[in-house]
Chain A
Amino acid sequence: AQRVTQPEKLLSVFKGAPVELKCNYSYSGSPELFWYVQYSRQRLQLLLRHISRESIKGFTADLNKGETSFHLKKPFAQEEDSAMYYCALSGKYGNKLVFGAGTILRVKS
C-alpha cells in the first residue's frame, strides 16, 4: 500500500531555530518524493523533489530508503517559512501523487 505519514500536525519554532518536518512513507518499489508548500491564501506549490537534490529557500530533504523517510530540514527558520507543508510520493508511472496529512509550521518571532 502507498502511504505517507506526517506525524506532526503542528510544529512551532522560534525564528532562527532549526526546523525538521518529518515524513515517512510506505511504497513497494522506488517512489519519487516531494515536498509541497501552501502559504496563506496561496495555492499549493512544489518546494522540492528528491531527484533534484537541490536546496530551495534554504530547505533540504534527503531520501533515506532504509528508514523510508524524507524529512524536510532548514538550519535557521524565518517567519516567512510559516505555512502548511505536505510530503507526497508518486510511483514510476503516471502523475498520481499520494499526500500526507500535512504539517503546519509556525515560526514565532
Chain B
Amino acid sequence: DAGVTQSPTHLIKTRGQHVTLRCSPISGHKSVSWYQQVLGQGPQFIFQYYEKEERGRGNFPDRFSARQFPNYSSELNVNALLLGDSALYLCASSLEDRSTTQYFGPGTRLLVL
C-alpha cells in the first residue's frame, strides 16, 4: 500500500485564481481530513469528511471548500487565491471519524504569486 497520496506535489498560481488539490486515502479508510501548514507553524485543521459528509470545519473563509467522493478520495478547492494561501496542504486519512490514528500524505506545496 502506497499510503495516502496527494496530487500535485507542487503548484504555482497567481492571485485571484482557483486551485484544486486531490487526495487518495489508504484503502479502507473512510475519513479524510485537510490541514494547512504555513512555514514555521504546525498544521492547521481545515476540513474533515467521513462517508462523504462534512464532519468538521476549521476557521477558514468560504473560499475554501472540499468534497469526498464515493471511493473516499477527496478534493480541496480554494477560490480567489491570496498570497497568504501559500502553504503546504496536508491530507490525512483514518479508518473512522473519531479520534483514531491519522495517516498523513506528503502534502501539496502551493505558492501563490
Residues of A within 8 A of B (CB): 4, 32, 43-46, 49, 86, 88, 90-102
Binds A, one of B10-18, B35-43, B60-68, B70-78: B35-43
Known interface pairs A43-B4, A43-B107, A96-B48; 8 further A-B residue pairs with C-beta atoms within 8 A, sorted by A's residue number: A94-B48, A95-B56, A95-B100, A96-B33, A96-B56, A97-B33, A98-B45, A99-B42
- Given A43-B107, A44-B104, A46-B101: A96 in contact with B45 (beta carbons within 8 A): yes
Most chain B CB within a 10 A radius of its CB, from A4, A91, A95, A100: A95
Residues of B within 8 A of A (CB): 3-4, 31, 33, 35, 40-45, 48, 50, 55-56, 58, 90, 92, 94, 97-107
Total A-B residue pairs with C-beta atoms closer than 8 Å?
67
In this complex, what residue of A is CB-closest to B93?
A95
What are 23 inter-chain pairs, A to B, with CB distance below 8 A?
A: A4-B42, A43-B107, A44-B90, A46-B101, A46-B102, A46-B103, A49-B101, A86-B43, A88-B42, A91-B99, A93-B98, A94-B55, A95-B48, A95-B50, A95-B55, A95-B92, A95-B98, A95-B100, A97-B33, A97-B35, A97-B45, A97-B102, A99-B44
